[in-house]
Structure 1
Amino acid sequence: MRPENFSIEGLAAFVAVVDHGSFSAAAEKLHLTQPAVTKRIQTLEQTLGEPLFERQGRQTRPLEAATIVLPQAREILARLADIERSLRDRGEHIGGVLRLATSHHIALHRLPAALSDCRRRYPDIELEFVFLDSEAGIEAVARRQVDLALATLPDQLPDALEAGTLWTDRLTLMLHEALLRDAPDPTADAFTGWLEAQPAILPPAGSATRVRIDRALHRIGLHLEARHESPYLEVIRVLTRAGLGIGVLPRSLGAPGLACPDLPGLDITRSLGWVRHGARHQSRAENAFIALLGETGTGLEG
């Protein structure tokens, strides 16, 4: 195996096949034909002297050699991207492509004004969006698939990543007003037992938001049984408004017909912000966009 035989195009095709799960999806992402992607993978396999994928019908499964090559392939492509960004950033001009991963909630409720300002102030910044759950967005940053993730921040990040808080949500119990008609008085001890007997609609177990919800409920001795789970807070609100159970949602998502009973000692907050890879070049476009987001105002939403 000779290093000079390696092709950047081959490595890019390889990573795209792994990330998108098939040769056809990788071809679409790279704006190539599927035979072109196949040829690049075959050439890379010949250089390595080992097969990288097992193809079974439409399914493509990475082999052991692929799992060994993948981290180094990502690193090579990331370093080349850093070189390109460094060269592009030599002047004072602010522009270029900025790849963003964002949750649907942040995109709907936090970004509209910032995006309008970005378009007006930095017309040469080209924003590319991928909509991912917070955990998946942070993982995309770790893999250097995106430049920046806007996400619910976990308690801990991998050492290579850095983050900043932009907004803070205060969450509360929400349920359809009709459910409260036969409930004990919210100030009575029996109300906690009544709540625990109701189905709950919560974010997925293990997600950053769910961790904060479970921790806060545990502190006051309340256990809610999740009948339904969804990573989309707007879906939880729809199900809650339909009377299907108790939701735990940001106060900003309150709506007519939804009651928000206050329980003594219950305090649920979560931080929303940006996450990026600390080892890669931070472009002027990226820093400008983060500063612009900060101008929308940090602080506690209540």
Structure 2
Amino acid sequence: MDTQSLIAFLAVAETGSFSLAAERLHLTQPAVSKRIAVLEELLGQRLFDRIQRRVTLTDGGQRLLPRARQIITMVDETRRELSDIDGEVGGRLSLATSHHVGLHRLPPLLKAFTQRHPNVHMELRFLDSEQAYQGVLDGSLELAVVTLAPSPHQSLLVQPVWIDRLRYVCGPEHPLLTAPGLDLSMLADFDAVLPGEQTFTRTIVTEHFARQGLKVRIAMSTNYLETLKMMVSIGLGWSVLPETMIDEGMRPLPLVHPPLLRPLGYLHHRGRTLSGAARRMIALLERERAANGSTAHGTSVHEGVNK
């Protein structure tokens, strides 16, 4: 059924006049009359009686009136909902991020997103990167912004946005600082404090050691890099941290080795139709990626680990 004919019908019914309906719709009176005629032919019912200058609804017109209003209301609501896809966005966005990314990388983007799209209900969850991966895989999360896996699942679309350069660090009074001819084998003789066993960051470190036939002596583990930073600063062991986290409470170890690079970025399931809110968040992340230059263009950028 032609909605334009229904709109013309409602205008005539509400104004009681073809000429007033034409003015309301910014149409000519013959155009309104034609739309009503099309509707009457379609329904096989006369909808208006025209007696002299009076226009009144027939019995068929009376029956059509509430349904016509319902149809137009439904069409308008549907149009508004669909406009969320490419226009103003609403609805829900289930987004997971790791604590490090959520504290050090994501805040400016989240602020920009919430300012631009105040009607989106953000369900933000702080999870370990590995848990966030699983959430996206099983469909409980729409989007994750985390440390990226060395070998992501083929069902996931994974895009690096930032690259963390990792550095071996220790406390300012650690004996490794004064060790002559420091190399990786010396680190293997001292306690390390690192993220948990199944984390992507720990995998980078242990595989770096394994390629030289060495094992890491793990004393303590935590997935919170801020806690690792504290542990290092008070001398509980050496660790590996993003270069951006190094401050006066620790010292980079003067090791000569290829760069240890950790990609951070977003991922979503290839088989999932993304909401308008998710697409808007990805657009912000893509602008951030472009601003970072050419350092984040692939998923296999750990130092030799994934190649």
TM-score (ref. length: structure 1): 0.65
| CA positional deviation for 1:121 | 2.0
Structure 1 partner of 2:90: 95
Is the 8 Å Cα contact of residues 86 and 276 (structure 2) preserved in structure 1?
no
Contact (CA 8 Å) 1:97, 1:125: kept in 2 or not? yes
Aligned to 1:256: 248
Q: Unaligned stretches of 5+ in structure 2?
A: 1-80, 297-307
Q: How far did 1:89 drift?
A: 4.2
Quote the offset at 1:224 in angstroms. 2.4
Q: Quick check: 1:244 aligned with 2:231? A: no
Q: Of residues 288, 292, 299 in structure 2, which corresponds to 1:298? A: 292
- Where in structure 2 are the equivalents of 1:26-175 lying within 5 Å? 89=84, 92-175=87-170
- Deviation, structure 1 residue 221: 5.5
8 A contact 1:220–1:265 mirrored in 2:
no
Higher Rg of the two aligned structures: 2
Name the CA shift for 1:91/1:218 in 2 (closer, same or farther; >3 Å): closer
- The alpha-carbon deviation at position 131 of structure 1 amounts to 1.1
Asked whether the 8 Å contact 2:85–2:276 carries over to 1, the reply is: no
1:274 paired with 2:269, answer no
The CA distance in 2 between the partners of 1:292 and 1:169, in whole Å, is 19
Shift in alpha-carbon separation, 1:91–1:102, aligned structure 2, 3 A: closer
Superposed CA RMSD: 2.3
Task: Give the ranges of 4+ consecutive aligned residues of structure 1 lying more than 4 Å apart after TM superposition.
Answer: 86-91
Identity %: 31
Q: CA deviation at 1:215?
A: 2.1
Aligned to 2:69: none
The answer to whether structure 1 residue 177 and structure 2 residue 172 are counterparts is: yes
- Which residue of structure 2 lines up, in the alignment, with residue 198 of structure 1? 190
1:165 Cα offset (Å):
0.8
| CA shift for structure 1 position 132 | 0.7
Amino acid at match of 1:128: E
> Between Structure 1 and Structure 2, how many residues are aligned?
213
Q: Distance in 2 between matches of 1:294 and 1:251?
A: 23
Asked if residue 207 in structure 1 is aligned to residue 237 in structure 2, the reply is no
Unaligned runs of 5+ in 1: 1-85
Conserved 8 A contact 2:170-2:237: yes
